[in-house]
Amino acid sequence: EIVMTQSPLSLPVTPGEPASISCRSSQSLLHSDGKNYLGWYLQKPGQSPQLLIYLGSNRASGVPDRFSGSGSGTDFTLKISRVEAEDVGVYYCMQGIDTPQVTFGGGTRVEIK
Amino acid sequence: QVQLQQSGPGLVKPSQTLSLTCAISGDSVSRNSGSWNWIRQSPSRGFEWLARTYYSSRWSNSYTSSLRGRLTINADTSKNQFSLQLNTVTPEDTAVYYCARMTTTTNGAFDIWGQGTTVTVSS
């Protein structure tokens, strides 16, 4: 099983300031097709997860461009260029290279200072 | 737009069978690419992928090895939905259960999720 590790566990942020979340995998997520099978999700309080980023750096439909994903292999980052109040919740990374046996990180809780 | 509507009981007694259904609107359960999945989330184990079904000239099902033998996933093309059965439940199966879609566009990621069903296993 591929283990996904996120940091930090909690991230207090100031509206308008940038934020960054790290995700590390125990095995490379770089497929032979040249794509990184890493996704980012946001789970707002009381809601289902919503896809933000797929294949490491592709924004999902309707996701604001203040969200960006980067990284390759085993190290990945989700960046929010300017945090807004509606961005609070728990962020998760998920590996999809081992589909269907996908695995998720433990989550990073983003809260407003 | 594509929506997944879940239904099923919120309370199940130990040793009984949990049955959940995910009704699809705006897409087809027998689409030729992608898959339909069940995932659960609990405070103790986080997110756990459970099962998937997809159609590619024939139906194919996969299950997590940790629950193999207890899980059954089925697609119903006449109702455009898929379902999950988990038998011999215990309190450790208490979780929020989600259905979700994966497509070849968002390859390796779930782009559409159901609203979630909170399932409690208790007598």
Question: Tens digits of per-residue pLDDT, A17-29?
Answer: 999 999 999 999 9
- Hey, of B106, B112, B118, which one would you mutate to test binding to chain A, going by the most A CBs within 10 A of its CB? B106
pLDDT tens digit sequence for A4-18: 999 999 999 999 999
Using a CB–CB cut-off of 8 Å, the residues of B that contact A are: 35, 37, 46-47, 49, 52, 62, 64, 98, 102, 106-111, 113-116
Q: Cβ-count burial of B105 within 10 angstroms (0-12 exposed, 13-18 middle, 19+ buried)?
A: middle
Nearest-Cα residue of chain A relative to residue B45:
A106
- Measured between beta carbons, the chain B residues lying within 8 angstroms of A92 are 47
Report whether pLDDT(A31) > 80. Answer: yes
pLDDT of residue A45: 95
Q: Cβ-count burial of A99 within 10 angstroms (0-12 exposed, 13-18 middle, 19+ buried)?
A: middle
Which contiguous run of DSSP H or E holds residue B39? strand B35-42
CA of B2 to nearest chain A CA: how many angstroms apart? 12
Average pLDDT over residues A52-68: 97
Q: Cβ-count burial of A50 within 10 angstroms (0-12 exposed, 13-18 middle, 19+ buried)?
A: middle
Assigned token pair, B91: 């309190």
CA of B33 to nearest chain A CA: how many angstroms apart? 14
- Measured between beta carbons, the chain A residues lying within 8 angstroms of B52 are 100
Cβ <8 Å between A104 and B37: no
Assigned token pair, B25: 């609107």
Average model confidence (pLDDT) across chain A: 97
Contact present, A55 and B109 (Cβ < 8 Å)? yes
The DSSP secondary structure of chain A, one letter per residue, reads ---EEEE-SEEEE-TTS-EEEEEEESS--B-TTS-B-EEEEEE-TTS--EEEEETTTEEPTT--TTEEEEEETTEEEEEESS--GGG-EEEEEEE-TTTTS-EE---EEEEE-
DSSP B13: -
pLDDT of residue A10: 98
CA of A104 to nearest chain B CA: how many angstroms apart? 6
Amino acid at A86: E
Q: What residues in chain B have per-residue pLDDT under 50? A: none
pLDDT of residue B32: 84
Give percent of chain A above pLDDT 90: 97
Average model confidence (pLDDT) across chain B: 96
Cβ <8 Å between B107 and A35: yes
Residue that wins the pLDDT comparison between A99 and A3: A3
